Amino acid sequence: MRIKAGLTVTALACDLHAWLQLLALQGAALARATPKTLRCCFLYFPAASCAASVDFT
Residue pLDDT, tens place only, 18-38: 887 788 777 777 778 887 887
Instruction: Report residue 7's pLDDT band, with 50, 70 and 90 as the boundaries.
Output: very high
| pLDDT higher than 90, residue 40 | no
Q: Among 18, 50, 53, 43, which Cα is nearest to 32's? A: 18
Task: Give the predicted TM-score (pTM) of the model.
Answer: 0.53
SS3 57: coil
The CA distances from residue 19 to 25, 31, 37, 41, 56, in Å, are 9, 11, 16, 16, 37
| pLDDT higher than 70, residue 54 | no
Instruction: Report residue 51's pLDDT band, with 50, 70 and 90 as the boundaries.
Output: low
**Number of residues written out for the chain:** 57
For the chain, the domain total comes to 1
> What range does the domain containing 22 cover?
2-53
Write down the pLDDT at residue 16. Answer: 84
Q: Among 8, 32, 10, which Cα is nearest to 22's? A: 32
